[in-house]
Structure 1
Amino acid sequence: MGILESTYFWQALSTLALIWLLWHYKVFHRIGAALDKRGERIAAELDEARRLRGDAEALLREYEVKRANADKEAEAIVTAAREEAERMTREAEERLAAFVARRTKAAEDKIAAAEQQAMIEVRDAAIASAVSASEAVLREQAAGSEGERFMRDGLELIRGRLAS
């Protein structure tokens, strides 16, 4: 069996021929260049992803700070609103108490005035009644013009004393 009849020989020769052809037409160089280009593209994408991640983290921190500030501001607004509502409630209670006090004073003044008026009317009625009774009694006891004069003088005297 000769070397030309061996399948290993022909396989080795065709493999060498294939490698030489690939090397001669610079296929390995092209494959390497394509892989290098792809590696560079992947590296650039990774760098871009790292940059974007850094930007995203910075943006996240910024928004967390803004949210914390907004929470504080909202808390301050709620506290201020609560204090304002309490102040308005106190003022309303004070105004209501003052209003009730004024109305009570006005009612007491009206009651006092009505009592005073009633006392005056009762006194006037008593005076009128006493004068009428005195007049009737004196008319019975005194007769004539002397009695009339005496009665008028007496009635005037009684009216003056009762009125004061």
Structure 2
Amino acid sequence: MDNTFWATVALVLFFALIVYLKGFRRINASLDDRAKRIQTELEEARELKEEAKQQLAEYQRRRREAEQEAKEIVEGAKRESQAILADAKRKNEEFVQRRTAMAEQKIAQAETDAIAEVRSTAVDVAIAAATKIIAERNQNGNPQPMSASIDAVRSRLN
């Protein structure tokens, strides 16, 4: 009897022992339990996957809403800034018009004052010249008629 015989006998005894102790049932039960655990884990994974998909969809929806709200805020700010700019431009134009009108009034008043001053000075010069001419005529002893004196003043003013 060689080693092969004894190895075969040991193998047969081992299988007999397993059958006697219902080892195949235990192995099957263990494998069935493991299969059930794997199945429940797969179901949990599917549920988690679905939940993750729902959360992703919710976050994407919120992101789109936030982007839309941001766009609306930016557009509102642009409209408001344009309104402020238009108002500032209008006020600036009104200010320039008021200042221009005020400057034009001052210029017109200065012109009026200058004309009045020139007229007043011209009248004063004319009176002084007339007085001087009349005084000179009266000193020479030959009084002339009034029209001749006026003609003499006119000729000296020209």
TM over 0.5: yes
Instruction: Give runs of aligned pairs for residues 63-74 of structure 1, distance below 5 A.
Output: 63-74=59-70
Q: Find runs of 4+ consecutive structure 1 residues off by over 3 angstroms.
A: 13-16
Cα offsets for 1:22-65 (capped at 9, x unmatched): 02223222212221221121111111100100100000111111
Other-structure match for 2:52: 56
For structure 1, the 5+ residue unaligned runs are 152-164
3-state SS of paired residue (1:79): helix
Per the TM alignment, residue 15 of structure 1 is displaced from its structure 2 partner at its CA by 4.2
What is the alpha-carbon distance in structure 2 between the residues aligned to residue 69 and residue 113 of structure 1? 65
Instruction: Give runs of aligned pairs for residues 27-66 of structure 1, distance below 5 A.
Output: 27-66=23-62
- Residue 78 of structure 2: which of 75, 78, 82 is its match? 82
Instruction: Give runs of aligned pairs for residues 1-164 of structure 1, distance below 5 A.
Output: 11=8, 14-142=10-138
What is the alpha-carbon distance in structure 2 between the residues aligned to residue 101 and residue 141 of structure 1? 59
Per the TM alignment, residue 14 of structure 1 is displaced from its structure 2 partner at its CA by 4.5
Q: RMSD in angstroms over aligned alpha carbons?
A: 2.4
Number of residue pairs aligned between Structure 1 and Structure 2: 140
Amino acid at match of 1:22: I
Per the TM alignment, residue 81 of structure 1 is displaced from its structure 2 partner at its CA by 1.3
Amino acid at match of 1:84: E
Taking only the aligned residue pairs, the percentage that are identical comes to 37
Q: TM-score, normalised by structure 2?
A: 0.78
Q: TM-score, normalised by structure 1?
A: 0.76
Cα offsets for 1:103-155 (capped at 9, x unmatched): 11111111111111111110110011001001111112236xxx9xxx9xxxx
3-state SS of paired residue (2:49): helix
What is the alpha-carbon distance in structure 1 between the residues aligned to residue 46 and residue 110 of structure 2? 94
What is the alpha-carbon distance in structure 2 between the residues aligned to residue 23 and residue 105 of structure 1? 120
What is the alpha-carbon distance in structure 2 between the residues aligned to residue 47 and residue 25 of structure 1? 34
For structure 2, the 5+ residue unaligned runs are 147-158
What is the alpha-carbon distance in structure 2 between the residues aligned to residue 96 and residue 23 of structure 1? 106
